[in-house]
């Protein structure tokens, strides 16, 4: 009996473990191809420490800081007065700090945490969302999440993989009706990266939609738990900096806003037509004008995926929408895409939009050839974003 069951057990382990590992390997391969002629892609932290990475690593050592902006930056952004690492959220560097207590350097820990979280989010996607079923659509969807436009930031010293891990964990836990744990998982995402806060609206809607009639308001209130990191950061900043709104103040100086613009289409026009959004202006300062076009293309590709998820939801509404795999997954994509667009600076679009990846799960009803075309298109865009990652100077 034991001998007969061992092959089946081994196959089950392989079914659970191999697809996420292959998807992670696919992402590393895409990034490696993109870096050809620039530098060898490896696991050395120096390879993956790009400009904003230094801010996260600085927080590990010095905590979040607030200082006057240097003259060079004020020439680039005339409205900038205050600078420092208070413009970055503490979740990722705080986690790095914990592991440095055991001896490894912060850059090494940062790279290990990023790649571990990347593997973890792919495992969550495969096991928790796609039920580890070896079908062509499922494998393509997993690959699509792995190479979602801009996914190079999932394996670099950035908090994107940790934030996306929290979002997907909240999705999986909510699917199993673990509302408290789902809220805590989303709180991890919010503490790690500001754009994850856009998911809170989709989370509240999914909580209400998955609850019994009469319990929907109470269920939706769990979204407040997921928002607690925002309150904690405000309290910290009031105590340390004397300004509870330090983060939004720094964002406003860079042209970021909390309230949507009077004409949201104007931001889309600036991103896609004028190519004058903040990341695109910085790309030109980086002497990479081609990257300004690339960021517009990335926005279009991500927008097509999000729009496709919305269309799939509308077509499936009569058959009964899954409040999590359909409504929440699509809502994640819609809210992130719209949120970073309407923020005014397009919120470091090249990496923020990676948090819209769950929207791809709603495409599971579409034919494999279409899914394959989407994955190839994503991979091409991620290759281009990866090339900019290795050549850029400022962001």
Q: Where are the beta strands (DSSP E) in 41-137?
A: 67-68, 82-83
Closest of 99, 92, 88, 89 to residue 118, by C-alpha:
92
**What are 193-232's pLDDT values in tens digits?**
999 999 999 999 999 998 888 888 889 999 999 999 999 9
Closest of 292, 293, 275, 297 to residue 395, by C-alpha:
292
Q: Is the dihedral of CA 129, 135, 138, 144 positive or negative?
A: positive
pLDDT at residue 279, as a whole number: 80
From residue 166, alpha-carbon distances to 112, 141, 330, 359 in Å are 17, 19, 16, 15
Structure tokens at 84: 């420092």
Task: Give the phi and the psi of residue 287 in degrees, each rounded to 5.
Answer: 60, 35
Query: To the nearest 10°, the Cα dihedral for 274, 280, 285, 286?
Result: -140
pLDDT in tens, the chain (395 residues): 444 456 678 888 888 999 999 999 999 999 988 887 666 677 888 889 988 899 999 999 999 999 888 777 666 666 667 788 998 999 999 999 999 999 899 999 999 999 999 999 999 999 999 999 999 999 999 999 999 999 999 999 999 999 999 999 999 999 999 999 999 999 999 999 999 999 999 999 999 998 888 888 889 999 999 999 999 999 999 999 999 999 888 877 766 766 666 677 787 888 888 888 878 877 887 777 888 889 899 999 999 999 999 998 888 777 777 888 899 999 999 999 998 888 766 567 889 999 999 999 999 888 999 999 999 999 999 999 998 888 865 54
Beta carbons within 10 angstroms of residue 132's beta carbon: 17
Closest of 372, 342, 335, 341 to residue 357, by C-alpha:
335
Element (H, E) at 97: helix 91-100
pLDDT at residue 395, as a whole number: 47
Q: Taking all residues of the chain, what is their mean pLDDT, rounded to a whole number?
A: 88
**What are 236-260's pLDDT values in tens digits?**
999 999 999 998 888 777 667 666 6
Supply the DSSP symbol for 353: G
Structure tokens at 118: 């990347």
Task: Give the phi and the psi of residue 154 in degrees, each rounded to 5.
Answer: -75, -20
Q: How many helices (H) and strands (E) does the chain have?
A: 20, 2
Q: How many CA atoms lie within 13 A of 122 on its CB side?
A: 31
Strands 82-83 and 67-68: antiparallel
Q: How many CA atoms lie within 13 A of 294 on its CB side?
A: 23
**Structure pTM?**
0.93
Tell me the C-alpha distance between 332 and 369, whole Å. 25
Tell me the C-alpha distance between 160 and 92, whole Å. 9
Structure tokens at 326: 């359909």
Structure tokens at 302: 């991500």
∠171-175-180 over CA atoms, to 5°? 75
Tell me the C-alpha distance between 10 and 294, whole Å. 44
Task: Give the phi and the psi of residue 139 in degrees, each rounded to 5.
Answer: -65, -40
8 Å CB contact between 288 and 338? no
Q: Is the dihedral of CA 319, 321, 326, 327 positive or negative?
A: positive
Tell me the C-alpha distance between 364 and 367, whole Å. 8
pLDDT at residue 3, as a whole number: 46
**Strand, coil or helix: 395:** coil
Closest of 351, 321, 55, 323 to residue 174, by C-alpha:
323
pLDDT at residue 325, as a whole number: 87
Q: What number of residues does the chain have?
A: 395
Structure tokens at 311: 């269309």
């Amino acid at each position: 009996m034991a001998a007969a069951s061992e092959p089946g057990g081994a196959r089950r382990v392989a079914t659970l473990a191999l697809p996420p590992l292959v998807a992670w390997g696919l992402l590393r391969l895409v990034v490696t191809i993109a870096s050809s002629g620039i530098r060898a892609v490896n696991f050395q932290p120096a390879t993956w420490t790009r400009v904003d990475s230094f801010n996260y690593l600085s927080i590990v050592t010095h905590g979040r800081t607030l200082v006057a902006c240097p003259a060079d930056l004020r020439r680039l952004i005339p409205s900038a007065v205050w600078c420092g690492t208070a413009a970055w959220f503490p979740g990722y560097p705080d986690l790095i700090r914990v592991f440095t207590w055991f001896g490894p350097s912060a850059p090494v820990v940062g790279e290990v945490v990023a790649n571990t979280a990347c593997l973890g989010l792919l495992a969550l996607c495969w096991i928790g969302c796609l039920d580890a079923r070896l079908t062509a659509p499922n494998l393509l969807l997993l690959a699509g999440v792995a190479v979602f436009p801009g996914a190079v930031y999932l394996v670099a010293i950035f908090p994107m993989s940790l934030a996306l891990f929290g979002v997907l964990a909240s999705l999986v836990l909510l699917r199993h009706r673990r509302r408290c744990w789902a809220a805590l998982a989303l709180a991890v995402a919010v503490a790690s990266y500001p754009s994850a806060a856009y998911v809170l609206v989709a989370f509240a809607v999914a909580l209400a939609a998955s609850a019994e009639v009469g319990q929907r308001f109470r269920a939706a209130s769990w979204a407040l738990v997921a928002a607690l990191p925002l309150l904690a950061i405000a309290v910290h900043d009031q105590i340390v900096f004397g300004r509870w709104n330090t983060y939004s103040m720094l964002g406003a100086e860079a042209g970021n806003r909390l309230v949507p613009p009077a004409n949201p289409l104007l931001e889309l026009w600036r991103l896609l037509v004028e190519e004058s959004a903040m990341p695109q202006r910085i790309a030109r300062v980086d002497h990479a004008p081609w990257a300004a076009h690339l960021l517009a293309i990335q926005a279009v590709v991500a927008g097509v995926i999000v729009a496709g998820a919305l269309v799939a939801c509308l077509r499936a509404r009569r058959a009964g929408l899954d409040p999590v795999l359909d409504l929440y997954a699509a809502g994640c994509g819609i809210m992130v895409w719209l949120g970073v667009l309407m923020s005014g600076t397009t919120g470091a679009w090249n990496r923020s939009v990676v948090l819209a990846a769950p929207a791809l799960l709603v495409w599971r009803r579409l034919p494999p050839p279409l899914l394959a075309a989407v994955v190839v298109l994503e991979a091409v865009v991620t290759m281009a974003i990866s090339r900019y990652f290795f050549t850029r100077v400022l962001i």
